[in-house]
Structure 1
Amino acid sequence: MRSVGVEEELLLVDSGTWQPCALSTAVLAAVSRDPQGNEDVFESELQRQQLEFATRPQTDMGDLREEIVRWRGEAARHAEGLGASVAALATSPLEVSPTIGSGERYEWLKEHFGLTAHEQLTSGCHVHVSVESDEEGVAVLDRVRPWLPVLLAMSANSPYWQGEDSGYASYRNRVWGRWPSAGPVEVFGSADRYHEQVADMVASGVLKDEGMVYFDARLSHTYPTVEVRVADVCLDPSTTVLLATLVRGLVETAARRWRDGEPPARHGLALLRLATWRAARSGLADELIHPATMRPAPAEAVVRALFDHVRDALEDSGDVLPAQEALAALLKGGNGAQVQRELLHRTGSLTDVVAECVARTRG
């Protein structure tokens, strides 16, 4: 069975004002002093108002959920010792002036990308799924392309930007898309072609290195995995686990179809960009572009089409029933964007929205 690992980026906020606070260095220092260790789990991100953790590779989704809840809790514990909290929010609902971290890499990004780098206080969820080879991995990338916007819609958790409603379910996706290497990609056809494209992008001088290849899904340059990067960080850990389950199902389904000689869909980049925009705009609250027809369809129908697409793989991994239950809960309760807007409607305060999201982050 393919292993799955998850990386989540969390927002650090002041426990009194709920404003984002630039404490990642202090939190990581607290982690390093902790006798329990776990230094290899947490790391800094571009902005000091963020903290990232990574789970170990897991094959059982129950074990993956336990790790996600555990590391969210540990992040909260270390932040609380500094008068802060963590929130699984993909953008800050409250106004913030982000603070770029120190170090040669971050200085390079700030110098070369200006306001694009300065404004990048966005938090995503990255799902790694093991593959047997780069050739299998690229075959997977070629075949999952039209389904990635559906994952974005399910995870959408960033409706607010600088104290205002952005009009999007995932405004993180729009901000992240300012990087020149971000977004959907064409069909590569082979691992050689993929690596040639990445090498050419780095050789252009626009990117610092291979780590800046910000495709919505890519081969990891660190692990033998396909890394799906399109999603917002999810408010509820159950949504993160559902996302990871579906991504593993997508990878397995794509690999099987590749081995059976089935070619990938040839949807052009222009259509995939439109599908991504639609998912970021609407989330689960309106229509999405159906990956099979590339025409509009109700969001619930498109999400269920994704589930049907990977059902055989989910049955083989024993994930059908828990995924069905999690999907039903998501469609009933809404994604993070819908929850945040409902909270604002009920409380009338973005500060209260952040406070409630802090409480929900642990699940």
Structure 2
Amino acid sequence: MGLHGEELTFGVEEEFFLVDASGQLVPRGPELVFGTEERGGELQQELIRSQVETATDVCRTAEEVLGHLTRMRADLAASAAERGLRLLPSGTPLLPKSSHEITQKERYREMADRFGAIARSSATCGCHVHVEVADRETAVRVSNHTRAWLPVLLALTANSPFSGGAVTGYRSWRHVLWSRWPSAGPPPMFVSLEHYENSVAAMLRSGAMMDRAMLYWDVRLSDNQPTLEFRICDVAATPEEATLAAVLIRGLVNVALRDVADARTPVIVPDEVLRANLWRAARDGLNGSCLHPESGELVPVWAVLDELMAGLRDALRTTGDLEFAEGMLARLRSTGGGGDRQLAAYRTRNRVTDVVDELCV
């Protein structure tokens, strides 16, 4: 429950690659966006012409989120199929020689000019979760309380082990690539909203960001909605996994709101340690290890997830999400995360095209 007992609304944005029958990226994202009828939610162009983005309506339940995500993927996939194309939910492209053409919008052209190869090679797909936190000062404090859990959220959603047709040795290569942006990474600890805004202003003055929309921290305050936005996740292989990330993040925000109200001190993880732990989570994924947020000991990701669930259980029960979350986590214990499943599909015949066939909607 929220600070005053109300149910927090939330929503999810997903980015996808557009590929041909063989799995190569195709620069027809704008065509697909303009040619697909919107039945709720929103379709958007992205920096790279071979990408598209969906955004759900504002939701109150896991069922609503899952329904929106499932329908929007199906609609986009059907529209793509009419054009001989497929929708690929992977954090990075799977095949080499893929198209990284910049979408012809003035802002995107300026980004490509200013940031060079970082922009032109930033073909990555993430999943962003917005959770209602209307007061911006409170949102900054919630960010402080949730940042220590970012590595386990990354490990849970890691779904990008390939790059250019090769195995990278990481479960989330997207995270590694995205970290090259000068405004990316985990948010610092902030003492106030003023501290947050002063940091953003300084980054703008430095030229590390072209505008406030380029604030790419893993958690940031939305400038357009009364929400806190979590940007740590790879795009999920399935709508169910994206919904799982969303309900766990909403649970974290609910608990953080309670902790803020009770003036509890957040777990403080130094920036350099948090970055190291995010690297470890990106490398190992769900079945690997990461540093425990409080003890700093290297432990299995599943042990941290179990502890996270113990802390969220009451909040998830209150919002009606507990049964869904427990069921999905049980499924992932059996099947492995998205990155693990991509690698399993590849290892059958050592063909990346098998992974494409496994993933495409």
Q: Shorter-chain-normalised TM-score: which range?
A: over 0.9
Tell whether the 8 Å contact from 2:252 to 2:312 is kept in structure 1 after alignment: yes
Counterpart of 1:345 in structure 2 is 347
Q: Where does 1:159-308 land on structure 2 (aligned, <5 Å)? A: 159-308=161-310
- How far residue 286 of structure 1 moved from its aligned partner, in angstroms, is 1.7
Question: Aligned equivalents of 2:311 and 2:121: distance in 1?
Answer: 37
Tell whether the 8 Å contact from 2:40 to 2:56 is kept in structure 1 after alignment: no
Which of 13, 22, 25 is the aligned partner of 1:20? 25
- How far residue 49 of structure 1 moved from its aligned partner, in angstroms, is 0.9
Shifted more, 84-93 versus 304-313: the winner is 304-313
Question: Aligned equivalents of 2:23 and 2:337: distance in 1?
Answer: 21
1:4 is the counterpart of 2:10 = yes
Counterpart of 1:92 in structure 2 is 93
- How far residue 236 of structure 1 moved from its aligned partner, in angstroms, is 1.6
Shifted more, 302-311 versus 121-130: the winner is 302-311
Q: Where does 1:153-164 land on structure 2 (aligned, <5 Å)? A: 153-164=155-166
Counterpart of 1:82 in structure 2 is 83
- How far residue 166 of structure 1 moved from its aligned partner, in angstroms, is 0.5
**For each residue in 1:87-140, what CA deviation from the matched residue of structure 2 results, as whole angstroms up to 9, or x when unmatched?**
111111111241111111111111111111111000000000001300111111
Counterpart secondary structure, 1:22: coil
Equivalent residue letter for 2:17: L
Tell whether the 8 Å contact from 2:185 to 2:218 is kept in structure 1 after alignment: yes
Q: Where does 1:17-56 land on structure 2 (aligned, <5 Å)? A: 17-31=22-36, 34=37, 37-38=38-39, 41-56=42-57
Quickly say closer, same or farther: Cα 1:103–1:132, change in 2 above 3 A.
closer
Question: Aligned equivalents of 1:311 and 1:189: distance in 2?
Answer: 29
Counterpart of 2:3 in structure 1 is none
Counterpart secondary structure, 2:233: strand
1:66 is the counterpart of 2:67 = yes
Question: Aligned equivalents of 2:196 and 2:298: distance in 1?
Answer: 30
Question: Aligned equivalents of 2:267 and 2:41: distance in 1?
Answer: 39
Which of 107, 114, 119 is the aligned partner of 1:117? 119
Equivalent residue letter for 1:232: D
**For each residue in 1:232-273, what CA deviation from the matched residue of structure 2 results, as whole angstroms up to 9, or x when unmatched?**
001021111110000000001111001001011221101100
Report the aligned-residue RMSD.
1.2
Quickly say closer, same or farther: Cα 1:97–1:22, change in 2 above 3 A.
closer
Counterpart secondary structure, 2:264: coil
Question: Aligned equivalents of 1:160 and 1:101: distance in 2?
Answer: 24
Quickly say closer, same or farther: Cα 1:40–1:247, change in 2 above 3 A.
closer
Which of 303, 321, 324 is the aligned partner of 2:323? 321
Question: Aligned equivalents of 1:18 and 1:184: distance in 2?
Answer: 32
Which runs of 5 or more structure 2 residues have no equivalent in the other structure? 1-6
Greater than 3 Å deviation, 4+ residue runs = 37-40
**For each residue in 1:196-246, what CA deviation from the matched residue of structure 2 results, as whole angstroms up to 9, or x when unmatched?**
211221122231100011000000111100000000001021111110000
- How far residue 287 of structure 1 moved from its aligned partner, in angstroms, is 1.1
Counterpart secondary structure, 2:14: strand
- How far residue 38 of structure 1 moved from its aligned partner, in angstroms, is 4.4
Question: Aligned equivalents of 1:309 and 1:122: distance in 2?
Answer: 32
Question: Aligned equivalents of 2:89 and 2:238: distance in 1?
Answer: 8
Question: Aligned equivalents of 1:197 and 1:191: distance in 2?
Answer: 10
Counterpart secondary structure, 2:94: coil
Question: Aligned equivalents of 2:121 and 2:108: distance in 1?
Answer: 13
Which runs of 5 or more structure 1 residues have no equivalent in the other structure? none
Shifted more, 101-110 versus 157-166: the winner is 101-110
- How far residue 40 of structure 1 moved from its aligned partner, in angstroms, is 6.2
TM-score by length of 2: 0.96
Tell whether the 8 Å contact from 2:41 to 2:56 is kept in structure 1 after alignment: no
Counterpart of 1:104 in structure 2 is 106
Q: Percent identity?
A: 38
Equivalent residue letter for 1:78: S
Count of residues in Structure 1 that have an aligned counterpart in Structure 2: 354
Question: Aligned equivalents of 1:186 and 1:28: distance in 2?
Answer: 35
Counterpart secondary structure, 2:224: coil
